[in-house]
Amino acid sequence: GQNIDQPTEMTATEGAIVQINCTYQTSGFNGLFWYQQHAGEAPTFLSYNVLDGLEEKGRFSSFLSRSKGYSYLLLKELQMKDSASYLCAVRVYGQNFVFGPGTRLSVLP
């Protein structure tokens, strides 16, 4: 079976750093994706990891450990506009995408 877990909700303070974890158990692995989705809007692609390690893109970084079935998204210097849902997804063999339930992040002033 396919299973992806993420915390349902997280809260952090403006200017702080937050780490959103994602663990997965899937039949095969062909890359891990992170998306941001503001309420009522379409998802926005944030990052893609296929090899172990850290990928940095400005205030956002994504880490992958394939042996542990684990990834995290790190958001630095949080801003109010970062309040959104963050979706973790794995591409499995056969090129299917499996999505996690999403983590709703609230950034407080």
Binding site for other proteins (CB under 8 A): 30-31, 33, 35, 37, 41-45, 48, 50, 87, 89, 91, 94-102
Looking at the Cβ atoms of 51 and 109, the one nearer to other proteins is 51
Tokens at residue 72, please? 């995290």
Nearer to other proteins, 60 or 99 (CB): 99
Tell which residue, 88, 82, 80, has the closest CA to residue 7.
88
Query: Quick one: 13 or 40, whose CB is closer to other proteins?
Result: 40
* Residue 108 C-beta: closest distance to other proteins, Å: 25
Q: Where are the alpha helices (DSSP H) in 9-107?
A: none
Q: How far is the CB of 37 from other proteins (least distance, A)?
A: 8
Q: How far is CA 84 from CA 6, 39, 77, 81, in A?
A: 14, 7, 15, 8
